[in-house]
Amino acid sequence: MASVTSALNKFQDNADAVQALHAPVLSREPIEQAARRAAQHLIRLQLPGGDWEGEMVWCTMILAQTVIVRVIVNRPYRDDEKAGIIKHFECSQRGDGSWGMHPESQGYVFFTTIGYVALRLLGLPAESPLLERARRWLHAQPGGVKEIPSWGKFWLALLDLYEWEGINPIPPEIFLLPQWLPVHPRRYYCHTRQIYLGLAFLYGKRFCAVLPEPLRDALRRELYPEPYASIDFASWRNRIAQSDVHVPISPVLRLVYQLLGIFERRHGRGLRRKALDRCFQRILYEQRSTNYQGISPVSGLLNCLAIFAHDPKHPDLEPSLAGLEAWRWEDQAEGIRYVGARSNSWDTAFAIQALIELPGSDAETVQALNQAHGFLRDAQMTEELPDYQAAWRDSALGGWCFSDGSHRWPVSDCAAEALSAILALYEQADFEASGRLDESRLEMAVNFILSRQNEDGGFGTYERRRGGKLLELINPSEMYGQCMTELSYIECTSSSLAALAHYRKHHPDFPDERIDRALRTAEAFLRKSQGQDGAYPGFWGINYTYALFHVVKGLRTAGAAVTDPALRAAARWLTEKQRADGGWGEHYSGCLEGRYVEHEQSQVVMTSWALLALLETLSPDHQAIQRGISWLVNQQQADGAWPRQSVNGVFFGAAMLDYRLYHLYFPTWALARYTRLAEVTAQRDAA
């Protein structure tokens, strides 16, 4: 560490010398004008409820599965809805005829196959150009549809388009295992746990939809070049298309599959009935406790099928199908689709923090902030879930969800950013919102955040960590990594650190010194997680730039000085990665490869993250900041927005996302912060 500190001191000395030689690229006036245009554009996008929400773009998987579910349960779409769905498939199809994991990925057998099936179920003829291109691409793959990943094999089996002997067992009896076992499902990451709950129930029932034979037989002919009856599906059970594999089947998982296969041949009917009943009761709890939305549409769709398989007339089926529509997104440009998450609270918290950074708020901004405060106030979880511990849930009280809170799955960093935004609002002299959160509500938020801290000092998302790293050896998803258990995440830890430090500043007498202990251990976790080059790997954004934005924000709010070695190392890394045009840009492939990969073009979002971090550690007239701000201003459009560029989010290592408001409130925030700091610097120099 001593050698790193020495190098950092030398870097700072050189940086100080360099910045004195360079005049600002742009004067303060055009930068402030750009910041105010951006703020005005952001305010125009505020929704009637006071929140902001941008689409979180992922892929066509949920759309395809929703179509399949609606057909199975005999709730078909209207003709105009079918047209909107087909339009989205047309917009998102790759040039080679395939569909991918995300807007910039290569084609996947999984997404292309289930998209093809969904379009046929909607009534699109096999001869349509859309399907001809997809079919041609599928047949050109080495193993074709037979090598679809396990989730795809399962969905095809539900439609009698793949045989059950070609699928590795998912017995519902795993939910009857003793809870002390290290492989018990309660230890899984909550999304994974809920998905496999539905899969296990449907597998245990061997549920299979009844398609009209002409359509079923036509699909079999279209999907497989050889006769369906001639395929030895069992021999394809563990063969996965290389285009789709992110985590290969491990030897340990292969052994587990073999043991489960033996069990599946010998289990008793009574035990199976008990297991199915246990799974079904948990499915009903999830649906009812989430207002029938589920933690996500991925598991929500499986739950709908499970309820239908149990009883097509079950009273929870209709509200569950209606709950799926909470995930629907629709516009003229791209048609109808379903998002993997709704981001109301997340987007609103960041929009607030961006807007309050700009000095001299006008009446329009104050009104927008008042309305946003009202949304966050109402979105907080103020009632506990009934019997949550029996459902393997952690307490929800005091938290905020990623969304508007309807599905009642709050998250640590969503709660932290919401609390940070609210506390920052209360520090504004001109902010006079009605219905301020009282001390008990603020304390509830703090207790919620504290409840998500792991033993290593880091913070999980929905829950504390429950399982060990060895669980990843039995990751059955094949397409996603690090999805078997909660982790300690750099970004969640940083957001939680910032919120807790912000709260402690105004409440130094919080009982039992719990905040102080949490801050010490969180800060220690972040410091030991820093790489030798000064960078941090991201998990929920792309990638090192995103993580550094959060870490610097967290450490600075917690009181770290600008001369702190960790912050100076972060600043060095960022200035070294600045591109020749003044911007920053990371390519998503770095998430797949576990290293920094520069994008071929500077990105508005990454540039904003870098600037927000550097403005915490360097003077606003530093050369790197001046060049970055100038680049950002020059990319701004006439209406105050910025152009959409590459994907900027990620989850589970391989699934890239495009958060469509990131390209607006983060650059607004960066320009606003620069404007405020430049004004302070000018006033200080004048004095």
pLDDT digits (tens, 9 = 90+) for 177-207: 999 999 999 999 999 999 999 999 999 999 9
Q: CA nearest 573: which of 8, 120, 143? A: 8
pLDDT of 5 higher than 80: no
Q: CA nearest 608: which of 677, 675, 662? A: 662
Q: CA nearest 73: which of 319, 280, 340, 328? A: 319
pLDDT band at residue 430, thresholds of 50, 70 and 90?
confident
Residue 135 has which token pair?
Answer: 């079919």
pTM for the whole thing? 0.94
Any residues with CB less than 8 A from the CB of 199 and at least 6 apart, and which? 154, 170, 302
Distance CA(383)–CA(215), nearest Å, equals 48
CATH number of 59-229+249-338: 1.50.10.20
CATH number of 54-58+342-529: 1.50.10.20
Q: CA nearest 55: which of 114, 112, 103, 118? A: 103
pLDDT digits (tens, 9 = 90+) for 81-139: 999 999 999 999 999 999 999 999 999 999 999 999 999 999 999 999 999 999 999 99
Distance CA(73)–CA(81), nearest Å, equals 17
- Long-range pairs for 432-438 at CB < 8 Å and ≥24 separation? 432/370, 433/369, 433/370, 433/373, 433/374, 434/370, 435/373, 435/374, 435/377, 436/373, 436/377, 437/377, 437/380
Q: How far apart are the first and last CA of the chain?
A: 39
Overall average pLDDT of the 410-438 stretch: 92
DSSP-assigned letters across all residues of 512-533: GGHHHHHHHHHHHHHHHH--TT
pLDDT of 459 higher than 60: yes
What percentage of the chain exceeds 70 in pLDDT? 96
Is 413 designated active site? yes
Catalytic residue among 413, 438, 509, 621: 413
Overall average pLDDT of the 539-557 stretch: 97
pLDDT digits (tens, 9 = 90+) for 357-415: 999 888 899 999 999 999 999 999 999 999 999 999 999 999 999 999 999 999 999 99
Distance CA(676)–CA(125), nearest Å, equals 59
Residue-level pLDDT at 646: 97
Residue 180 has which token pair?
Answer: 């002390």
pLDDT digits (tens, 9 = 90+) for 48-93: 999 999 999 999 999 999 999 999 999 999 999 999 999 999 999 9
pLDDT band at residue 11, thresholds of 50, 70 and 90?
very low
Ranges of each domain in the chain:
1-44+569-687, 54-58+342-529, 59-229+249-338
pLDDT digits (tens, 9 = 90+) for 592-604: 999 999 999 999 9
Cα distances from 102 to residues 57, 62, 92, 348, 658, in angstroms, run 8, 12, 9, 24, 9
pLDDT of 45 higher than 60: yes
Residue 628 has which token pair?
Answer: 């970055």
Domain 1-44+569-687 has CATH 1.50.10.20: yes
Three-class SS state of 584: strand
Task: Report H helices in 79-173.
Answer: 79-92, 109-121, 129-140, 150-158
Any residues with CB less than 8 A from the CB of 148 and at least 6 apart, and which? 109, 110, 113, 156, 162, 240, 241, 244
DSSP-assigned letters across all residues of 162-225: S-GGGS----GGGGGS-TTSTT-GGGS-HHHHHHHHHHHHHHHHT------HHHHHHHHHHH-S
Residue 614 · residue 624 · CB < 8 Å:
yes
pLDDT of 24 higher than 90: no
Residue-level pLDDT at 483: 94
**Burial class of residue 592, CB neighbours in 10 A (0-12, 13-18, 19+):** middle
Q: CA nearest 554: which of 567, 538, 569, 563? A: 567
Distance CA(303)–CA(321), nearest Å, equals 10
Is there a common fold for 1-44+569-687 and 59-229+249-338? yes
